[in-house]
Amino acid sequence: MSGEIIAIAIGTIFINNFVFSQFLGICPFIGVSKKLDSVLGMGLAVIFVMTLGSMVTYLIYKYLLVPFNLQYLKIIFFILIIASIVQFIEIILKKQLPFLYNALGIYLPLITTNCAVLGVALLNINKNYNFIESLIHGFSGGVGFLIALFLMSTIREKLDLATIPKAFKGVPIAFISAGLMALAFLAADRSMLDIFK
Amino acid sequence: MDNVIIQENKSNSLFKKNILYFTNGLLKENPALILLLGMCPTLAVTTKVANGIGMGLATTFVLLFSNLLISLLRNFIPTKVRIPSYIVIIASFVTTIDLLMQAYLPLLTNSLGVFLPLIVVNCIILGRAEAFAGKNTAGKSILDALGMGLGFTFALILISLLREFPGTLKIDFSDFGLGILTFLKNADNPTLSIFRFNIYSGAKIFTMPAGAFFILGLILAFKQNIENKKKYGDK
């Protein structure tokens, strides 16, 4: 059991990294990675929403949609659940933890349309994960996203100072560096999991 | 006589005005290549041309019907709850296309995988609903949706052509129930060879995730190069 959980965690963070190999959450990845300061806020907010989101969507699917044979409504239900969770977190943070709200504030509404959050909820169902596995999948997906975002932003801060051909300035060079990082992430493959067996 | 000419002129200018809503999305504000919206499906599904066409047309379908419905309901939806209402409308049409494709194109649905339901969070659709359909008439919204949708499809086809052909030396339409297009013998595993020496049988990197980033980066650099030339003159 614990071996499987470690396998899911390592697999989601490195082997099937949400950004570099599954292409989930590319929009914030390119949009937010310009400054290192904003990365931590965005990454933490995503981890939080993804963990909570995969827990709640799993429970709703298992105990509401399946008993009533409503599986075909999962897209509508999941997007509404995620949107409400984001709203809910925003309200609670504003009241209880204003310093955290100030740090995460502008990133929270963006998360509703982050495809990684809905993606992880749908993948949990597709892969037949149970509650604990869904929770770990959501959390480690967020961690993988934060790692990708952090690496990218450090590279982009350096790129600002580098001399780049005019045609590649800005977004094109960001995509090329993301490609190189995706190549590096290929080094992590299934053999990495053998350590834990 | 004069009257007829004036009328013709009027309809002509009206036509020209309306066609701008359509062509706007095709090139000038192409969602994927210029506005950089909907990057996840753009990078993820373009391993095959068939996937690109399927994804592009599915997005166009959702965009068309959600734009139409939202523009018809724009005077009834309260401004405060407009975003949730848009999301519900979009999600219903995504469910529709998801179920339709599962029924009629199961192979394509399998290879698009989780990205078919993820059309819900494609920024192009919510973006157009908020920026265009919520403020304009149904006719204009339809033209805008068609332009944006086909522009997106065009971008997906361009990227997937640049990835699938160098990657595998063939273009595989078997997901649509059609054959495999290749210019070499041995359609399943085409190899370029001269005098029995196999020179090239496709570079796997183009179909790997890294290839997607490289190809899109190169296309954007090409676009930026053209813009620079326009801005600073020929150099």
- How far apart, in Å, do the first and last CA atoms of chain B sit? 52
pTM: 0.86
CA A168 to chain CA mean position, Å: 27
| Interface test mutation site (partner B, options A12, A18, A87, A113, max chain B beta carbons within 10 A) | A113
Q: What is the mean pLDDT of residues A9-21?
A: 86
Q: Work out the pLDDT band at B81, boundaries 50, 70, 90.
A: confident
User: In chain A, positions 67-86, which contact chain B (CB-CB < 8 Å)?
Assistant: 72-76, 79-80, 83
Residues of chain B found within 8 Å of residue A165, distances taken between Cβ atoms:
221
C-alpha gyration radius of chain B? 21
Q: Compute the residue count for chain B.
A: 235
Domain boundaries, chain A: 2-190
The alpha carbon of residue B97 is apart from the nearest alpha carbon of chain A, in Å, by 12
Q: What is the pLDDT of residue B66?
A: 93
Inter-chain contacts counted by CB atoms under 8 A, chains A and B: 120
Phi, psi of B198 (to 5 degrees): -80, 115
C-alpha B90/C-alpha A132 separation (Å) is 31
Number of domains, chain B: 1
ipTM of the complex: 0.85
Q: What is the pLDDT of residue B188?
A: 65
| Interface test mutation site (partner A, options B43, B97, B99, max chain A beta carbons within 10 A) | B43
Range(s) of the domain holding residue B159 = 2-232
Per-residue pLDDT tens over the stretch B114-158:
889 999 888 888 888 888 888 888 888 998 899 999 999 999 999
| Contact across the interface for B217 and A172, Cβ inside 8 Å | yes
Q: How many CB atoms lie within 10 A of CB B103?
A: 9
Per-residue pLDDT tens over the stretch B195-216:
777 777 778 888 888 889 999 9
Per-residue pLDDT tens over the stretch A153-180:
999 888 888 888 888 888 889 899 999 9
Q: What is the pLDDT of residue B2?
A: 47
Query: Which residue in the block uniquely carries the two structure tokens 């959390």?
Result: A139
